[in-house]
Amino acid sequence: MSELFEAVDALLASRATLPPPEERKRLRTAHGLTLDEVAAALKVRRATVSGWESGRTEARPPERDAYARLLAGLAQLYPAPTTPTTAPDGSGGVPETPTGRTAPAPQTPVMTEDRNPQTVPAPSAEQTQHPAPPLARTSGNTSTPRRPGTRTAAPAGTPASTPAGTPASTGTDPRFANGPLAVVDVDTDGQVSAYCPGGLVLDVPAKSVPALVDWTLTEGRLGQPKLSGPGKDADPLLVLTAAALERYGLPVTLTEEEQLAGRIPDGHKVIRQLTRADWKLTGRGFGPWARIYRPATGSERSCVQLCIPSWNALDTRHWGTAAQLAPPELARVLGVFATRVMTPRGSTAVTGLELMTALHPPTRASAPDADGRRHSEYNPGSLGKDPVDPAPCEAPDGHPVLKDLPRFHIRGPAEKVFEEAYDWARPMTDDECTRRNLVGLDVNMAFAAGANGLVVGLGAPTHVRQPVFDPKQPGSWLVDLSHADLSRVKLAKDKWAELDGTLLPSPFTPKGDRPEGPAWYATPTVAYAVELGYDVQPIEAWVRYDTGRYLDGWYSRLRDAYLATMADLGVTADIPPEEFLKAMDGYQSRDPELATVVSAIKATVKGGLGKLRERPRGEGWRPGEPWRALSRPTWRPDIRAAVISRTRVNLHRKIVKHAAFTGQYPVAILSDCVVYAVDGESPLDFLPYRQGKPLPGGFKLGVNPGLVKWEGTQTVLWGEGVREQFDAPALNLARYIKDGTVTDADGGE
């Protein structure tokens, strides 16, 4: 009897009902399956499955029953959207909703990780009855539930929970429901797809770059809400893969001439297409970070930014191998960065500077006037919309304020501020040569920590003769600190320490040399001299009376992004030192994509501060003439100098506290890395922890900005061998302490 039943079942299966061809493709793409994957599972050719989906052919036994079983299973996971047959007004039609103007879903209050109540769209009845399952990703990433009108990729693999660091593509603002950005790629079946953060994949119907821009602004629902009340929403970012470049008629790589120009020629056919469609490009043209826009009308912006990795948009020094990632993984990396920092606006340096402006926009809307109209006015706490000239001592060589100086004149410390990070080293003492190892400590996010709480000038400087020094007054001070002797320093109000000053770097110069006479310093450097107990009598100064903690929000945003990403990698704050060292061991290999985000966050800090004193970049510039960066209100070399000054004295303060308590002195310092000669191999072997508590004011192991991590350990014999090899008794070993690899004798980061 069982054989008869099996025969009947076979007859039924041979006539198994299949859904319409378009439904077959919808179900396949909803689960993220490619034609090749389905063909391999059913043991047929790819063209056969393509014919079934186009309706040109129909499946026959024995593949038909297996194909029907696959589609039936997918239909349970992804039921077709229900379409009402009668409109609310009784017209019998479906009411139209303009694209990009979808009404927001009902909002349900939720509690976020930081305990601040927020709202997210309430799930629909269909989502409640048929929740989408977690979708697998070959990299271990999973996607968020799909949305109507989209398709979600799910490469073959075992379903897993959403990994740490994967931003959800949902948002409280329905205008940006699909996230801040998308990676545009062409699938194996020729379909153009936009991969969004969180695993969401959108079908892209656009056949040209102008159509792609239109689709992004009208249907893409991409972008990011503004970071500050008076600010602007972030424009959507499209990342074009090599396949997408080919599809839209753009070169996959730039020629050498185009690389030098940083753009494709203005006569390129794609640029002509944009021009005919009334789209414009910024002055930088169509390059790795092109911006395509139409002039704003009122408060409405029409702008899309492109990122082209194969044109070197993602610098490998900061983004690692992100440009080689598959579209879903690249969308994840950039999406995490965008969610936690901001949507990238260019290089990490450009993004760091743009973040400052986004958090402190130069203008805001005024209160209504007598006619009820609002006007643009200065936003308190910002740098304003107009650039200001630096003081002559703050200006780099070649600046227009120095045009009257004799040609080839070289300014010394008494003519310019020279606040830079440490690059100092000394020969080891006989006692240090008997130690076994050199251990390096690295300060986490050192320059970000230097910006935290720093009071900076917001406006133009004022020149003052014979001023009285005020540590709370930002500015530049001409003062003689050559009398400062580090053999006796003040540690507290009535507590002094006797030290070996010959083994310590001077806190007043980047090379650690003792000043030889009057020199210009930023406020934090002079304030530290007062803290150490030295007499300070400035000769003159350039001070700023309009002040504020301009970088506080910038620091907080980057700190939170760094800590959240490190926590996703298993390195959390406030863990014991031993556990911290274990957690830091190999943290990058736990999730290389998130490790890339950490690298980009760090580069955003350093690059953003570097942009505050951006130098000419070609442009046919000549000394004494202005260059493009000077037109920005964020071109502020005095703020950069103050941050670097504070970072350097913060490190020196820890070194002095450590020396006073342990008698140990550094043998080399490079920027935020300091090296000691000790007998142990780990920082715990020489840092003065007592019952788990560090020396107050000294080095403390931890992930927070300003705390330190283990940079590396090499033997003293290695260090002496390197110095003998290059005949440099004071070669800066901090440059090579991480892995011991020495690439050159002169060095340079």
Three-state DSSP string of 501-518: HHHCCCCCCCCCCCCCCE
Q: Is residue 195 part of a domain?
A: yes
Rounded to an integer, the average pLDDT of 720-729 is 92
Tally of structural domains, the chain: 2
Q: Would you state the structure tokens that stand for residue 502, as one six-digit string?
A: 């010959």
Q: What is the pLDDT of residues 662-682, one digit of tens each?
A: 999 999 999 999 999 999 999
Contact between 488 and 413 under an 8 Å Cβ cutoff? The reply is: no
Question: Which segment of 102-111, 167-176, 478-487 scores lowest on mean pLDDT?
Answer: 102-111
Rounded to an integer, the average pLDDT of 493-511 is 94
Higher pLDDT, 155 or 187: 187
pLDDT of residue 737: 96
pLDDT of residue 155: 36
Positive or negative, the Cα torsion across 473, 474, 475, 478?
positive
Whether 65 and 178 map to the same domain: the answer is no
Whether 11 and 144 map to the same domain: the answer is no
pLDDT of residue 82: 55
Q: Is the pLDDT confidence value at 30 over 90?
A: no
> 690: pLDDT confidence band, cut at 50, 70 and 90?
confident
> H or E element: which one contains 185?
strand 181-186
Whether 202 and 305 map to the same domain: the answer is yes
**Within 43-139, where are the H helices?**
46-54, 63-77, 125-129
Q: What is the pLDDT of residues 344-357, one digit of tens each?
A: 999 999 999 999 99
- Domain CATH code at residue 56: 1.10.260
- Biggest CA pair distance of the chain: 111
Question: Which segment of 1-15, 247-261, 342-356 scores lowest on mean pLDDT?
Answer: 1-15
Q: Is residue 362 part of a domain?
A: no
pLDDT, mean over the chain = 86
Q: What is the pLDDT of residues 700-709, one digit of tens each?
A: 999 999 999 9
> 649: pLDDT confidence band, cut at 50, 70 and 90?
very high
Rounded to an integer, the average pLDDT of 393-401 is 96
Q: Is residue 434 part of a domain?
A: no
Whether 170 and 286 map to the same domain: the answer is yes
Whether 53 and 173 map to the same domain: the answer is no
pLDDT of residue 299: 64
Rounded to an integer, the average pLDDT of 76-85 is 66
In angstroms, the Cα distances linking 733 to 312, 435, 584, 678 are: 32, 15, 22, 14
Q: Is the pLDDT confidence value at 472 over 60?
A: yes
pTM (2 d.p.): 0.79
> How far is the C-alpha of 334 from the C-alpha of 601, rounded, in Å?
11
Out of 306, 341, 376, a domain closes at 341
Q: Is the pLDDT confidence value at 298 over 90?
A: no
Rounded to an integer, the average pLDDT of 71-92 is 62
Q: Would you state the structure tokens that stand for residue 388, as one six-digit string?
A: 């200001």
Out of 316, 341, 366, a domain closes at 341
Whether 70 and 142 map to the same domain: the answer is no
pLDDT of residue 182: 98
Q: Is residue 350 part of a domain?
A: no
Whether 45 and 183 map to the same domain: the answer is no
> 22: pLDDT confidence band, cut at 50, 70 and 90?
confident
Percent of the chain with pLDDT over 70: 85
Q: Is the pLDDT confidence value at 169 over 50?
A: no
The string of DSSP codes covering 407-425 is TT----TTTSB-----EEE
> 602: pLDDT confidence band, cut at 50, 70 and 90?
very high
Q: Is residue 421 part of a domain?
A: no
Nearest to 627 by CA among 613, 640, 638: 613
Whether 161 and 32 map to the same domain: the answer is no
Within 13 Å, how many C-alpha atoms sit on residue 78's CB side? 24
Whether 64 and 145 map to the same domain: the answer is no
pLDDT of residue 381: 94
Q: What is the pLDDT of residues 104-156, one digit of tens each?
A: 333 333 333 333 333 333 333 333 333 333 333 333 333 333 333 444 433 33
Q: Is the pLDDT confidence value at 161 over 80?
A: no
Q: Domain span at residue 166?
A: 138-341
Number of other CB atoms surrounding residue 301 within 10 Å:
15
pLDDT of residue 640: 98
> How far is the C-alpha of 355 from the C-alpha of 365, rounded, in Å?
20
Whether 259 and 177 map to the same domain: the answer is yes
> How far is the C-alpha of 342 from the C-alpha of 597, rounded, in Å?
12
Whether 73 and 142 map to the same domain: the answer is no
Strand-pair category, 475-480 with 488-492: unpaired
Q: What is the pLDDT of residues 311-336, one digit of tens each?
A: 999 999 999 999 999 999 999 999 99
In angstroms, the Cα distances linking 1 to 11, 12, 13, 427 are: 16, 17, 19, 95
Q: Is residue 99 part of a domain?
A: no
Q: Is residue 170 part of a domain?
A: yes
DSSP state of 687: S
Nearest to 447 by CA among 523, 551, 530: 551
Whether 238 and 336 map to the same domain: the answer is yes
Q: Would you state the structure tokens that stand for residue 264, as one six-digit string?
A: 């494709």
Identity of residue 588: Q
Strand-pair category, 673-678 with 708-715: unpaired
Out of 28, 43, 77, a domain closes at 77
Rounded to an integer, the average pLDDT of 185-201 is 92
Rounded to an integer, the average pLDDT of 591-619 is 95
Q: Is residue 530 part of a domain?
A: no
> How far is the C-alpha of 431 from the C-alpha of 251, rounded, in Å?
62
Rounded to an integer, the average pLDDT of 513-541 is 96
pLDDT of residue 286: 97
